[in-house]
Amino acid sequence: MSLRSPGSAPPGILAAIGRTPLVELRNLLPGFGGRVFAKLERSNPGGSIKDRTAYAMLRGPLESGELVPGRSVVVESSSGNLAIGLAQVCRYFDLRFVCVVDARTTSRNLALLAAYQAEVEVITEPDPASGEYLPARLARVRELAATIPHAFWPNQYTNPLNPAAHHETMAEIAGELGGRVDFLFASASTFGTLRGCADHIRATGMGTRVIGVDATGSVIFGREAGPRLLPGHGASVVPPLTDPSLIDEVVHVSDLDSVVACRRLLRREAVLAGGSSGAVVAALERLSPRIPDGAHCVLVFADGGDRYLDTIFSDAWVTAHFGEVAHLWAPRDLSGV
């Protein structure tokens, strides 16, 4: 087996994918009677849960010879995290990578892609029929896949290896907690994480209640499309992997609620997390009055907040989009009590 062979175990830096920390958050919800745990997926080497997906989708084609280092070209659409995960895997195996993103992709993510030597196409105009970026991104990916020699489109939106990667995510969580997971909160985008975790829960008879967290303005669970500021959470097109029957309850969270929850999470737990992580915190806050004392609640934190320093954690950006809202996460003044 060569040093860079996909082999039976991940090689090199890719061996660091998975086995991410599960930490208890004791200060997040004062007075809450349950226990709250966070699965910190930012600890993957590419910085997000999408590292698992990226390697899962490329590993098989590499082993079968469908992808050939030094010749094949991976083409994909991504809002950021999967792009970086794919860029890392492609860099390791000497695969050219062309990524189609849109105007909402952060400057930090674009800089990371450049560092990995990925080729980036930015879609600046939404699809004229729907007014959304994703259909325009996918149309461009299809064009590139049809015209670039030796192109390979993993297609995270339909690839069953996307959710399959997250059977292991859920197995890690269950192993840490001795199988005691009463509530699982995870955000929806491609539906890969939710579906993979839910499939594992059902296959093992865990009895966990799965809470799907979606963005206000997302169409994944049948609501009308609306504007969304934060990338990587929600979707403007229902992903083919979607199976609402796997979800026990859905919570829709606005951009503002995600931002406020991210700021509260940082203030109370010193955890710098991304927008979808803020959304799952906001969902837990909303459902907390209905959660029994002693329940084990697990929140999947898909990435870190370092990629949102120019947005969620920028006071100027927050004020420009939402006004003066810092009081929503500031500690209460009890001096007069």
- pLDDT (0 to 100) of residue 158: 95
Per-residue confidence band for 8, with pLDDT thresholds at 50, 70 and 90: low
Helix, strand or coil, per DSSP, at residue 311: coil
- pLDDT (0 to 100) of residue 1: 34
Q: DSSP string of 170-202?
A: HHHHHHHTTT--SEEEEE-SSSHHHHHHHHHHH
Average pLDDT, the chain: 94
Q: pLDDT digit string (tens) for 240-261? A: 999 999 999 999 999 999 999 9
Per-residue confidence band for 336, with pLDDT thresholds at 50, 70 and 90: very low
More confident of the two residues 135 and 254:
254
- Rounded to an integer, the average pLDDT of 72-98 is 96
Q: DSSP string of 82-127?
A: HHHHHHHHHHHTT-EEEEEEETTS-HHHHHHHHHTT-EEEEE-S--
As given in the structure block, the two tokens for residue 181 are 């997971």
- Under 8 Å between Cβ of 69 and 325: no
Q: Angle at which helices 255-269 and 315-322 pack, to 10 degrees? A: 150
As given in the structure block, the two tokens for residue 317 are 């950006």
Exposed e or buried b per residue across 187-206, where buried means at least 16 C-beta atoms within 10 angstroms of its C-beta: bbbbbbbbbbbbbbbeeeeb
Q: Quick one: which of 117, 111, 123 has its CA closest to 96?
A: 117
Q: pLDDT digit string (tens) for 105-131? A: 888 889 999 999 999 999 999 889 888
Q: pLDDT digit string (tens) for 143-159? A: 999 999 999 999 999 99
- pLDDT (0 to 100) of residue 79: 74
The predicted model scores a pTM of 0.94
